[in-house]
Amino acid sequence: MEQERGLTAAIRKILEDSSIDVAEERVISYIIRELHNGRSINEILSDPYVRNRVSEQQLDKVLENEEILKAVEDEMKKAFKEWDFKFEG
């Protein structure tokens, strides 16, 4: 009986972790898409879409994602090239 509860808890933990990863991946995709659409990172991060899908801790993890860092870098290079720094928002 105790072993079954442990197994159930382990399965529940795996399912919860995988659903968190799916939410994080969707937020990552959203942030990258919106960056490439010309929105500022501050504006994107305050979107209800982002705020309603990940916690502050998850958002910290999301922002460390290589793809997001690359997208931000690309947008910064583009801004310097075009002299368009989008300081509003």
Q: What is the pLDDT of residues 53-72, one digit of tens each?
A: 999 988 988 888 889 999 88
Mean pLDDT to the nearest integer, 9-25? 71
Q: What is the pTM of this model?
A: 0.67
Which is more confident, 50 or 3?
50
Mapped to the 3 state alphabet, what secondary structure does the chain carry? CHHHHHHHHHHHHHHHHHHHHHHHHHHHHHHHHHHHCCCCHHHHHCCHHHHCCCCHHHHHHHHCCHHHHHHHHHHHHHHHHHCCCCCCC
Residue 89: is its pLDDT beyond 50? no
